[in-house]
Chains A and B, each alone.
Chain A
Amino acid sequence: MITLIPKDNFKLPIEGKNVTPDIFIGKTVKEINALEMWEGNRKRTIGELFEVKDDGKSSEKFTIKIEGNINSVRNIGAEMSKGKIIVEGDVGMHLGEAMTGGSIVVSGNAGSWAGSRMKDGTIEIKGNAGDYIGAAYRGSTEGMKGGKIIIHGNAGHEVGCFMRGGIIKILGNVGIFAGIHMQNGTIFVQGVSQGRAGAQMKAGKIVLAGQSEDVLPTFTIEEIKAKVKVDGEKIEGPLYRFTGDMADNGKGKLFVAKEPNSYLSFYEKYLD
């Protein structure tokens, strides 16, 4: 296992795309120290910014551990295909962007764009996460295609924007526009949703198990379900099932728990 310890409380943004198991594999500590790492507009090396240690355990040779808060370091684990990254602390934007395999665990918070464009693998964030989790690049329609993102805390706005596959589970609250432009895949929110979930969604599944500020008027009620399956797990209901977004001729499924959302009861008269 390789351990990285930040030497400073970084103030400038740092480009961390070289911190992946794919790049570290087969490299000695000296070679890792020499890897490029931009700090602001200065070209630096990992060795200048981090203390790098190798505990020599070959069973964990695909694992990287980062000890400390690195909020200003971006692109950790970007495009990784295997191995494991453990961050003990907070991490910056674009965590695990476009990753195709392996796993990332963060004990603290993560910035925006975590898991955007990812194809496979898992990201687990124990704290909160920012906006655009599992989203597409700006302007593009290709969001997360596969894999799993689990956020134990809260997540920001536009989670799963243009998502095409995979699962995002949020155990805390979520901001507005969860699953906007969604084309496939699943989003599960246990806590409070700030509303407008599934705007312009074409397909896919959104499950709001907690309170939701609203359901967009372009969603139509279909039925009341006793429970719904998410990632092989049963979520107990009852839940309203809506279809939408009709404004975009969408066939997405939006599940909203009945109990915490008593204001939705007027929909029931349309069910017969």
Chain B
Amino acid sequence: MTELIIKNGFVYDPLNQIDGEKMDICIRDGKIVKSVKDTADSIDASGKIVFPGGVDIHSHIAGGEVDTARLLRPEDHYKDVESKTSLTRSGVGFSIPSTFTTGYRYSKMGYTTVMNPSMAPLTARHTHEELSDTPMLDTATYPLLGDWWFSLEHIRDGLLKENAAHIAWMLKATKGYAIKVVNPGGLEAWGFGHNVHGLDDQVPNFGITPREIIRGLVKVNTMLNLPHSIHLHTNNLGQPGNYMTALETMKSVEDLAIENKPIMHVTHIQFCAFKGEDWKGFCSGAEEISNYVNNHNHVTLDVGQVVFSSTTTMTADGPFQYGLYHLTGNKWANHDVETETSGGIVPFRYKRSSAVHATQWSIGLEISLLIKDPYKILMTTDHPNGGPFTAYPEVMTWLISKSARDKMLAKINKRARKKSLLNTIDRELSLYELAIVTRAGQAKALGLKQKGHLGIGADADVAIFNINPEINDPAKEFEASKAAFRQTAYTIKGGEIVAKEGEIVKSIFGKTYWVDAKTSMPLQVNDDIKRKFKEYWTIEFDNYPLREGFLHSPSPVNVKAVI
């Protein structure tokens, strides 16, 4: 029985309404408990802040696209090399680090749970192999089901119950955690060189619209009682004027909401909040999006904040990446996954001098600050699309400090600066709110009950930072805050000290969550399914599902479906 007590820290635990109270946190066998014996190991956290371990709802850290990006970008690796130590493995990569390096770097920043948001079902094996090789973190991954043939057929034929049974089977077969939808209808169209441009465009060969796909999958999500809502990347992503599409998408499911519960997570909203008719007239749609979200409770968002840096863009949204390739002239990889989804990779550099990039930077922060309830807008960079996750400390200081924002604002493109709403926004997130957008809110949106808080029974994932709110003002001394967020004083994962003052002190492996939705009506495996797999897939139906034993340490989340 291992015991640990964290003494005298300023504890921020929003899910239990604890706001900077000086208290002790007791840990036994990987869980938070009420008290421990006097013989327990102790950490002196006086003069430091204590947060729950960080949770990241959307970060591309594994799978087919990430690996294609690694192959495409040797030049991303050679400048950023980690040597092996007696405890850690070597690794490379700035915007697409290798698996071990990903785990270590997250851990040093106090993160303990990271969700991989995009997995073509066919690449589930590969993705789980990589997640099993990503240390220090609990993980999960979302299969792409927005353009899944059987789903599209079921929705077309109005067979929602059958669709729910099928998706429950798919989550089990791919060991997935949530329904990921990317440019619904667009990826199927991209298989034929086309795209869809709005909620009411026809999807070729299926005769349905993105609106029907989204509504169908939201209903299925509710039927299955899944812990997370559907995780949606909207149509028209990255196109000027697309804030209208984002608003319409959120409106399209208003009537499906039950008791103010979120039923849709719109991811990297910054990329869907572009106003203006073309790139010349490009401006921010942050105000419209924020107003809508402030008045509705059925959506949660994450930001997809842009940071000025060299990075690698990757999404399952193949047609968008093709457009980006033409826009930038950079190299491009198209990642087509048989009948299932598409994908694309383009290296990218966000420049302060570019009016568009600088406006994108501003949009992310505007939305983060204009939405009043921090549980609705979570901090991400859509790693690595807006910037690598290692830029989180910088993003965090922009959120808590107007001076930090002003410092960057003074350095960006003049036209973008003039138009930026940041000039008029004085809000600075408190440490309590910061704990929500980086941990509590993320865990809540994901339905991970044992994460994101420090209440009795929670997983003992804790991040202790060298910030003393009694003496220092983290907003005024934002450089010191940034340095503190870069490396924790202690990162505790599952009750063990794993990182200390920016050094990994213990290498461990986390769990991989997947959702086992129990339906009373299981999937009817008929000849049609088997025939389609035989004709169109490279893997036969019987070999398609992943055994649980394939995962390093699987952790099923059992839910009871209402069908």
Contact = CB atoms under 8 A, between A and B. Distances in A.
Contacts, number: 13
Nearest to A202: B329
Interface in A72-117: none
Contacts of A140: 74-75
A139 B76 CA distance: 8
Contacts of A139: 72-76
B192 interface: no
A170 B143 CA distance: 55
Interface in A116-143: 136-140
B98 to A, nearest CB: 16
Chain B interface category by residue count? under 10
B275 to A, nearest CB: 32
B84 to A, nearest CB: 12
A138 B74 CA distance: 6
A245 to B, nearest CB: 14
Interface string A139-167: 11000000000000000000000000000
A162 B219 CA distance: 53
A140 B78 CA distance: 10
Contacts of B78: 137
A139 B74 CA distance: 6
Nearest to B72: A139
Nearest to B73: A139
A256 B238 CA distance: 45
Contacts of A137: 74-75, 78
Of the listed residues A136, A137, A139, A140, the one surrounded by the most CB atoms of chain B closer than 10 A to its CB is: A139
Nearest to A138: B74
* A interface secondary structure, majority: loop
Nearest to A248: B329
Interface in A205-242: none
Interface in B24-77: 72-76
A258 B76 CA distance: 43
Nearest to B74: A139
A136 B75 CA distance: 9
Nearest to A142: B75
A246 to B, nearest CB: 16
A136 B79 CA distance: 13
Nearest to B347: A139
Interface string B461-498: 00000000000000000000000000000000000000
Contacts of B75: 136-140
B42 to A, nearest CB: 40
Contacts of A138: 74-75
A132 to B, nearest CB: 13
Nearest to B76: A139
A251 B73 CA distance: 27
Interface in B313-341: none
Nearest to B77: A139
A231 B76 CA distance: 34
Contacts of B74: 137-140
A140 B77 CA distance: 11
Contacts of A136: 75
A138 B77 CA distance: 10
A218 B76 CA distance: 31
B366 to A, nearest CB: 33
A17 B74 CA distance: 20
A138 B72 CA distance: 10
A201 to B, nearest CB: 14
A210 to B, nearest CB: 33
Nearest to A136: B75
A97 to B, nearest CB: 11
A271 to B, nearest CB: 32
Of the listed residues B74, B75, B78, the one surrounded by the most CB atoms of chain A closer than 10 A to its CB is: B75
A199 to B, nearest CB: 16
A137 B75 CA distance: 7
A136 B72 CA distance: 15
A113 to B, nearest CB: 12
B200 to A, nearest CB: 38
A138 B92 CA distance: 15
A41 to B, nearest CB: 12
Nearest to B78: A137
A140 B72 CA distance: 10
A140 B76 CA distance: 8
Nearest to A137: B75
B326 to A, nearest CB: 13
Nearest to B330: A141
A75 to B, nearest CB: 13
A137 B74 CA distance: 8
Contacts of B72: 139
A163 to B, nearest CB: 16
A140 B94 CA distance: 14
A138 B73 CA distance: 8
A31 B73 CA distance: 38
A140 B79 CA distance: 11
B327 to A, nearest CB: 15
A122 B507 CA distance: 47
Nearest to B329: A248
Interface string A32-67: 000000000000000000000000000000000000
A140 B74 CA distance: 8
B31 to A, nearest CB: 43
A136 B74 CA distance: 11
A79 to B, nearest CB: 13
A2 to B, nearest CB: 28
B220 to A, nearest CB: 42
13 contacts: A136-B75, A137-B74, A137-B75, A137-B78, A138-B74, A138-B75, A139-B72, A139-B73, A139-B74, A139-B75, A139-B76, A140-B74, A140-B75
Interface of B: 72-76, 78
Interface of A: 136-140
The 10 A-B pairs with the shortest beta carbon distances in the complex, nearest first, are A140-B75, A139-B74, A139-B75, A138-B74, A137-B75, A139-B73, A137-B78, A138-B75, A139-B72, A137-B74
Given A136-B75, A139-B73, A139-B75, 10 more contacts: A137-B74, A137-B75, A137-B78, A138-B74, A138-B75, A139-B72, A139-B74, A139-B76, A140-B74, A140-B75
